[in-house]
Structure 1
């Protein structure tokens, strides 16, 4: 065999191998609520390690924003929200495969204040010492919706309106409190734990719908099997153990 023919065959083999590797490489887009951000960032490398050639791209935002993006045709393979109501709306719009839906974890709503604050509880929110209270926009941020339900149940919602500072997502609320820009804010217990030393949990908040973080495969995904594998991975003992370490409750 001539050197020229051998070189051409080697070149063709390399080209075919490269094409094969490209075909095997897959990117999975996971849209997740901002409150799940830290957990997802820890879980994704483990999933990628179990699936060579797969790269997971995280899209983090408020649950309502994620739903709007999906409805507008954004390329999403998996949707994980901070509440069941948002996923119910996604189901009604046929944006997810309902057969793949499952609860990933549960959570708790808490009232937090800056670390040096002397705030004593929910009743103190109406006092003169509290001028600004941050919470997620109830229309798009589930944590804000839970907070509104809780405050309405206590008869405080109307009275606190002038003090409320709306935020685009729960992590923004946490930032406002940690920087001392507000006297109090409503976040998840998992968020409060992530900034220990900067914020103080004043009270555990009740009087709202149960906080469940559901997940499902997007109906328009072109990678249904891989997306389903990711959802199943989130339910695995290893993934659930990591979620418990981060403060999430069992499904």
Structure 2
């Protein structure tokens, strides 16, 4: 009788909610991985994270990939998602901001900065960091010089990897990508006048589970803001 009773009770338990899925730009990998662990450790629910370039994530969503919340490094791609009904436009917020820096391999001798040599950036046609880099180089008046020696990468973390391996002389990445990364060092910080406006929009997807609102609130919390700051991101707006 006890075994039967236990079986009946077990059979009546409500099923656990399916894990939430968060799509996030590659530059958010370290911060969001840490926040995802905290989210789950606090018993807020299971969370699956997917990291890639913003353009790649947006294309996956447009193709029907399942996700509950998306954070991109690009307003343009988020705007396309809104126009095509892939997100709940009313839920969109600017979660974070960022800026660009120029890095070189840590083992290279320190020398006066110049744009000589091979320079890695994200592909401007699909990677927001690459488009921002192109904009910065154009504003700086060096695009025509640098573009002849560009190496294009699939996302900003790939740019960082090219630099760390010494396959290029310079790379243009987000400031947040340099914190705690010893294989590359910052050799130039572009002045504010040439810095692009870098925003990280976040939104619930059109198919988001009801619990996804809790995840959005968590990412916008004061505690998450402290962690994002520690990882080099600026506040949203």
Aligned equivalent of 1:165? 151
- Distance change >3 Å, CA 99–CA 115, structure 1 → 2: same
Aligned equivalent of 1:190? 176
Aligned equivalent of 2:64? 73
Structure (1/2) with the larger helix percentage: 1
Moved over 4 A (4+): none
CA offset digits 1:6-42 (Å, max 9, x no partner) = 533332222223xx2xx23321010000000101001
Q: Please report the RMSD computed on the Cα atoms of aligned residues, expressed in angstroms.
A: 1.6
Q: Which ranges of structure 2 fall in alignment gaps of 5 or more residues?
A: none
Check conservation: 2:123, 2:153, Cα contact below 8 A.
Answer: yes
- Pick the aligned partner of 2:203 from 216, 239, 250: 216
User: For the residues of structure 1 that align with 2:207 and 2:189, how far apart are their CA atoms?
Assistant: 39
Q: Residues 52-131 of structure 1 correspond to what in structure 2 (within 5 A)?
A: 52=44, 54-117=45-108, 118-121=110-113, 124-125=114-115, 127=116, 130=117
Moved more, 55-64 or 226-235: 226-235
CA offset digits 1:187-243 (Å, max 9, x no partner) = 011101131x3111111125243111111100122x0x3112111111111110111
TM-score by length of 1: 0.87
User: For the residues of structure 1 that align with 2:188 and 2:7, how far apart are their CA atoms?
Assistant: 67
User: For the residues of structure 1 that align with 2:179 and 2:41, how far apart are their CA atoms?
Assistant: 27
The total of aligned residue pairs comes to 233
Q: Which ranges of structure 1 fall in alignment gaps of 5 or more residues?
A: none
TM-score by length of 2: 0.92
